[in-house]
Amino acid sequence: MNKYTTWYMAITDRARTRKLEGYTERHHVIPKSLNGTDDKANLVDLTAREHFICHWLLTKMYTGEAKSKMIYALNGMKRNSKFTQRYETLVTSRVYESLKKEFSIVHSATMKGRDPWNRGIPITEEQRGKNRIAATGKKRSAEAIAKAVAKQLGQKRSEETKLKMSLASKGKSKGPMSEENKLKISQGTKGKSKPEGMGAKLSATVAAQLAAGTHYTQQPKQTCPHCGVQAGKARYNGYHGANCGSLINTR
């Protein structure tokens, strides 16, 4: 038994014979990743500081694969959430540096030989959905999707959000879509069937807009002085006038 084990057992044994007031955290004396159980005999309540120290001592007590698991567990102690108050305890720069060095070595060895999950390719919403299904084993229900849509429906963007969007798009070319982009969209959607009932929904939306007089075909047209195209207010502001592709391409 090394000194770290002695210190660890002193903390956990003391915890069995006392009653703490206020905030505590449940700790497995034998970690679950090392086949520890949820039995009462293997659980103790610790203060936030004690909990961190115990996980730190565990990285000193074990070797090999077990040590790697304990380093991962200690690294996880940094994660904050609304259910924890651990991080009011000061973690010194030396402790943090030592942890990050050990974690980087262990994680590098763990990931060696594995292919990057996406090889640098930006993830698409379709792939995100597939990843979620692979991880959880289930697709989002129609009810869950409806709730997500309802949550966002009618929300207005704050001025801060608008500014962020503006800065993100700054410098990107505007104006009518290029033939190259049209081709990419065409190839990306080729062979994909539209959701059932989509045509009927679009028809109903257009009919409602026509009845209310808000359809883009009913809006007063403006002629772009740069390309000569006539467009309604929304399309004009988005693609013509100062944003006209013809103007931008001549700059």
CB proximity list for 56: less than 8 A, separation 6 or greater: 74, 95
**Amino acid of residue 32:** K
Q: Of 209, 245, 238, 211, whose CA–CA distance to 222 is shortest?
A: 238
Q: Coil, strand, or helix at residue 25?
A: strand
Q: Please write down the long-range contacts of 153-159, taking CB distance under 8 Å and 24 or more positions apart.
A: none
pTM of the model: 0.39
Contact 246, 226 (CB under 8 A): yes
pLDDT at residue 236 in the model: 80
Q: For residues 25 and 73, what is the distance between their CA atoms, to the nearest angstrom?
A: 15
In this structure, what token pair is assigned to residue 61? 């007590």
Backbone angles phi, psi at 214, to 5 degrees: -105, 0
Contact 30, 70 (CB under 8 A): no
In this structure, what token pair is assigned to residue 139? 């697709």
Q: Where would I find the beta strands (DSSP E) of the chain? A: 25-28, 43-46, 222-223, 230-231
Q: What is the pLDDT along the chain (251 residues), one digit of tens a residue?
A: 689 999 999 999 999 999 888 878 889 999 988 989 999 999 999 887 888 889 889 988 998 888 888 888 887 776 655 555 554 445 555 666 666 677 778 777 777 776 665 555 666 777 777 777 766 667 777 788 788 878 877 777 788 888 887 777 776 666 666 778 788 888 888 887 878 888 888 899 989 988 988 887 787 888 888 888 888 877 787 778 877 765 545 44
In this structure, what token pair is assigned to residue 151? 């949550």
Q: For residues 74 and 107, what is the distance between their CA atoms, to the nearest angstrom?
A: 13
Q: Of 117, 8, 98, 13, whose CA–CA distance to 53 is shortest?
A: 8
Q: Of 2, 22, 9, 160, whose CA–CA distance to 88 is shortest?
A: 22
pLDDT at residue 251 in the model: 44
CB proximity list for 89: less than 8 A, separation 6 or greater: 48, 49, 52
Q: For residues 134 and 163, what is the distance between their CA atoms, to the nearest angstrom?
A: 36
Give residue limits of the domains in the chain.
3-111, 215-251
